[in-house]
């Protein structure tokens, strides 16, 4: 168990070593924070940590006179896009904005570069075969084969067949083209027919997509469906965590080290709240913000509370009501209630 000045730096370091870590916050007349896993639990709150670990969701509970918050954090799902064409361009942007950690691979320098793919975490310019080998595919990866031709698809599939099975493998192409490619791989390369049949192809949900952007949407929809409806033995993260915000808390830019700030964290929601438990927003003393807990009056109503916390220190738990007359007066399309923690950090 670690007690850190920068607790979120501890989170980023730990999730590189293990699948899930928890941040435990204990609120009394002071704030205590720990980074721990299922084996290293502060005494007296074992049940809360175990529940958060098993259910992959934020736990907010009372223990005597103390309030306990347990937040699970895990690695972002990695999406590997093989091919740097127009569909890949849209898919990289859309999937990054929905929480995937995007890697793009292409063997053409004019297609595989960070200028073309600013939303990708990693861009690899190399042969598909060498790139797949270097990426060390895991059982939690998502892979979309979007190359420019039949020959390159075959190279990718041959190499992927040697790797660990990813959680999702999809390939673009017409049914006729895909059938021919599968037959070739079975007859000439001895690739398992069962393995080939597990590939999502045609890729994406059938929504009648035509343009590259529409095709990217249908692929992303299938990725999200796989993520949220995967096998029951694989618990996916249920908390609404934006890892970009966590990175900004972990790796503070030099020009913001001395800027005071407050963190707003959603603890609980009821009804159709726009964000769910785990979502965070940073409020800086200069008025700048990072992240969101839902926008509109959901944020405006607690901004002054955050400024007070920045000035006075400590913490406060507030409830944001977006139902009934309040929602109607503000013209809000969603309702519900949110309980949020505001703390100086």
How many angstroms separate the Cα of 36 from the Cα of each of 6, 213, 284? 14, 41, 27
Taking only the tens place, the pLDDT of each residue in 16-66 is 777 788 899 999 999 999 888 656 666 778 888 888 888 889 999 998 889
Q: Can you read off the two tokens belonging to residue 265?
A: 């964290």
Taking only the tens place, the pLDDT of each residue in 169-206 is 999 998 898 999 999 999 999 999 999 999 999 999 99
Distance of CA 119 to the CA centre of its chain: 14
DSSP 91: H
Q: Please report the pLDDT score of residue 1 as a whole number.
A: 45
Q: Can you read off the two tokens belonging to residue 99?
A: 């929480």
Taking only the tens place, the pLDDT of each residue in 117-138 is 999 999 999 999 999 999 999 9
pTM, rounded to two decimals = 0.78
* Separation CA 89–CA 99 (nearest Å): 16
* Separation CA 48–CA 53 (nearest Å): 9
In order of their start, the domains of the chain are 1-73 (no CATH), 78-228 (3.40.50.720), 240-345 (no CATH)
Upper half-sphere CA count for residue 96 (Cβ side, 13 Å): 17
Q: What is the mean pLDDT of residues 197-226?
A: 96
Residue by residue, DSSP assigns 243-310 as: HHHHHHHHS--GGGTTS-EEEEEEEEEESS-SS-TT-EEEEETTS-EEE-SSSHHHHHHHHHHHHHHH
Q: What is the mean pLDDT of residues 108-115?
A: 97
């Amino acid at each position: 168990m670690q007690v850190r000045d920068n607790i979120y730096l501890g989170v980023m370091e730990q999730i590189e070593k293990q699948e899930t870590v928890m941040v435990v916050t204990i609120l009394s007349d002071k704030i205590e924070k720990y980074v721990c896993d299922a084996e290293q639990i502060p005494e007296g709150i074992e049940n809360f940590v175990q529940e958060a670990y098993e259910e992959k969701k934020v736990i907010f509970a009372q223990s005597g006179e103390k309030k306990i918050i347990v937040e699970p954090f895990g690695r972002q799902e990695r999406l590997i896009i093989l091919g740097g064409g127009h569909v890949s361009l849209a898919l990289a942007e859309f999937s990054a904005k929905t929480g995937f950690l995007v890697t793009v691979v292409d063997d053409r320098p004019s297609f595989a570069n960070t200028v073309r793919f600013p939303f990708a975490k990693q861009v690899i310019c190399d042969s598909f075969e060498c790139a797949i080998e270097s990426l060390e595919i895991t059982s939690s990866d998502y892979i979309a084969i979007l190359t420019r031709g039949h020959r390159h698809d075959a190279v990718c599939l041959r190499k992927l067949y040697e790797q660990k099975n990813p959680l999702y493998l999809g390939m673009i192409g017409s049914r006729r083209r895909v059938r021919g490619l599968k037959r070739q791989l079975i007859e000439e390369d001895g690739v398992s027919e069962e393995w080939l049949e597990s590939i999502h192809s045609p890729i994406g949900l059938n929504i009648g997509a035509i343009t590259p952007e529409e095709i990217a949407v249908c692929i992303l929809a299938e990725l999200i469906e796989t993520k949220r409806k995967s096998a029951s033995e694989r618990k996916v993260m249920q908390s609404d965590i934006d890892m970009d915000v966590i990175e900004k808390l972990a790796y503070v830019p030099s020009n913001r080290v001395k800027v005071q700030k407050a963190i707003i964290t959603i603890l609980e929601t009821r009804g159709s709240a726009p964000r769910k438990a785990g979502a965070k927003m940073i409020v800086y003393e200069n008025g700048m913000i990072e992240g969101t807990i839902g926008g509109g009056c959901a944020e405006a109503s607690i901004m002054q509370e955050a400024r007070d916390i920045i000035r006075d220190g400590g913490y406060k738990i507030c409830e944001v009501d977006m139902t009934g007359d309040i929602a109607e007066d503000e013209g809000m399309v969603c309702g519900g209630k949110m309980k949020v923690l505001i703390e100086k950090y």
